[in-house]
Amino acid sequence: MKLRGATGWLTVTSIALLLLFLLLAITAYFSGKGVERDSVMISTDAVPGSIDAHAMKAAVGNCVRFSTLAAVTMDDGARARNLESARAAAAAFEAAFARYQATIRINPGKDHGLVDELASQFANFNRKRDAHEALLRTGDRARSLAFLESELLPAFVPVSTAADALVAYNNANADRLAQAIAANVHNLRLTTIIVVVLAVICGAILAGTLSVRRQAQEKLRENERRLRNTLDNLFVFVGLCEPDGTLVEINRSALEAAGCRREDVIGKLFHQTLWWTFSPDVQKRLLGVLQEAANGKVARFDIENRIADGNLITVDFCCGPLRDVDGGITHLVVSGIDITERKKLQEQILRAQRMEAIGTLSSGLAHDLNNILAPILMAAGLLKVKLDSPHDQKIVTMMETGAQRGAALIRQLLNFGRGSGGQRANVNFEHMIRDMVHIVEATFPRDIEVAREVGASLWPIVADSTQLHQVLLNLCVNARDAMPRGGKLLLRVENLRLDAAGAKACRIANPGNYVRLTVTDTGDGIPRAIIDRIFDPFFTTKPIGKGTGLGLSTVLGIVKSHDGFLTVDSEPGKGTTFKVYLPAVEQNDIALAAEPVAHLPRGNGETILLVDDEVAMREATKAVLEARGYHVITAGHGEDAIRLFVAHRDDTQLIVTDIDMPVMSGPELIRTVRVLEPQMKFLVMTGSTQGEKMTELAALGLGDILAKPCEPARLLKKVHAILNSTGAPALRP
């Protein structure tokens, strides 16, 4: 009975052990298969997918970067290389895209949805990149910059977002599969413990199970190694923190960028690591973001980050929670596609737009001021003829000189805004330097020592002497302000022959002969942080009321308008050197001033139709012309002029007209009159020499324009020359 009972229990125990063995065997088998399957998925789908998704994002980033560089560069060769690099980046994207499609296995439906979105966004981006490249090849740089900002850069954002979604999706798959492998490995551990107890019964199966386990672990280690290498070789900042902000993992790129070791940062609170210790404000902001991420929020923003050489870069930073399968937050993921260059390019585009707006404002203001000064100059010239008293002549001369100085200031305003030049002639730089030294010695503090060095046989340059005087004065005043405790100011002018190598080194110069002006002070110097901004309009470090921020902007505009360039070299505490390079000309290229005319030309009763909407200008010009023997009919705008021309068609020999007028503009008037009288002669007077209407006049064959304000002598000479010319320019299409 006892034996039977024991046998029964043995039988039951054997059956139980057999069932347990079968259960353990089944558990071990499927756990091993799960590890193998998930490992294969990580190595053949999740990791390659993550790599290819990162590659696509990097490629489209390079594509927009090189397209942007091509848009802002002035060098044709550099532009061509950047365009080629942009096309290569687009090809790299398509190659990574093809690789990604070949590895889709985990969830084809989800994968294809994300892939289709990325493909659609990239196709839209690539079309705009092709359009941008086409604009660049036409040479229309302004339109290409506008297209870059309004079309190409906005198109880059959805592509980057779609690539981020694909990266996040693959990272999530890798995390999910890794967690599944960990769970299966845990089951295998339990199976191993039980099988050891049942070694006699389960020995053979245990050996097979352990073999499967070893293979799975080897594959897992290989996949972990591959994932680590991938993260280490990404050119992005990737780290992992505990929920309290303690850094537990960081990739190699982040360490190398900061020039530090893992032991320098691992185990420290992330916001207190050396990347951020340069600024308490940045640390405070980062701490707040980490706390929000610990509560389940995701944040993305731009932040400054310190690198190995001590410089600061701008990082597109992202921080968010890493959750387990139950939704609990286990870690915080921190990452950041260095966007310093992109920010600089955006600033350059905004700077160009500001300059364009200032140019438009300057042009309009100059036009109005010219219309104010023009009748004053006309009236002054007329009074000089009529007044005999030396005292009266002196007063009129003072009035005329003041108006001429105002006109010179307007030309400087136009030059600052749009680069239009004034009247240019041969400039004696030696005399200008000598005069400036006299001004400085008479007005600057006594503790500033002034020296000048003038090279022998200076080459001639053709320039606006008033504008160059302004350049020299602005640079000297800046030097004075940089030496509040005294110092030395050196003015040097010399010849310089710039060969191809020297021009290439300057990057913004062409080979040739230059006259170089150097202004050096021993003052405080310019901080490195602001040296790139000193030529921005309205940028100044001086207190309110001490500076406008237009001095160096005006210098740059004048130098560029003379086809020159300038450089600046400064070291804080040791002074600053500005070098201005102006192209020299051959002697036979210099426009020599005309000999003065003893007597102004007179008319013989010729009828002139004068059209101008400014009453003062119209009356002053009429008085000048009538005083010299012409018969003048006046009109306030184009339509009045047409009616008067029809009434006096047989008598009118010349039409003098403004450009910008109400009702009908100057170009419209000229076209209409030429339909009625193709051989009619015209003289155009205008206070603005910029814009589309000037292009229209050139198309009409009227490229010789009389700029307001002008002296009566210039007007009378021009009228006499046109009336005595043969024929009139033919209407061009």
Residue 232 has pLDDT above 60, yes or no: no
pLDDT-derived band at 7, boundaries 50, 70, 90: very low
**What type of residue sits at position 353?**
Q
In angstroms, the Cα distances linking 489 to 47, 501, 600 are 64, 30, 48
How deeply is 647 buried, as exposed, middle or buried, from its count of CB atoms within 10 A (0-12, 13-18, 19+)?
A: exposed
Q: Which residue has the higher pLDDT, 188 or 624?
A: 624
Q: What is the pLDDT of residues 299-311, one digit of tens each?
A: 766 666 666 556 6
pLDDT-derived band at 731, boundaries 50, 70, 90: very low
Query: Range with the lowest mean pLDDT among 55-69, 140-154, 349-363?
Result: 349-363
* Alpha-carbon gap, residue 59 to 146, rounded angstroms: 23
The tokens for 578 are 């500005």
Q: At what angle do helices 692-699 and 666-676 cross, to 10 degrees?
A: 20
Residue 629 has pLDDT above 80, yes or no: yes
- The pLDDT of residue 575: 87
| Residue in the block written with tokens 């209409």 | 672
5 CA to centre of own chain = 93
In percent, the amount of the chain with pLDDT more than 70 equals 67
Segment 602-608 shows an average pLDDT of: 89
pLDDT-derived band at 590, boundaries 50, 70, 90: very low
- The pLDDT of residue 594: 33
Residue 5 has pLDDT above 50, yes or no: no
Q: Which residue has the higher pLDDT, 213 or 617?
A: 617
pLDDT-derived band at 228, boundaries 50, 70, 90: low
- The pLDDT of residue 711: 75
Segment 632-644 shows an average pLDDT of: 88
Q: Tell me: cis bond preceding 484? Omega within 30 of 0 counts.
A: no
In percent, the amount of the chain with pLDDT more than 90 equals 2
Strand 681-686 with 652-657, pairing: parallel
Residue 310: left if φ>0, alpha if ψ -120 to 50, beta else—which one? left
Residue 626 has pLDDT above 70, yes or no: yes
pLDDT-derived band at 727, boundaries 50, 70, 90: low
Q: What is the pLDDT of residues 357-400, one digit of tens each?
A: 666 666 666 666 666 766 776 776 667 666 667 766 667 666 76
Could you give the strand order of the β-sheet that contains 512-521, starting from the edge strand earlier in sequence?
A: 448-454, 487-498, 512-521, 575-583, 565-571
Q: What is the pLDDT of residues 454-500, one digit of tens each?
A: 888 888 887 777 778 878 888 888 888 888 888 898 888 888 887 77
Q: What is the pLDDT of residues 650-683, one digit of tens each?
A: 889 999 988 888 888 888 888 888 888 888 989 8
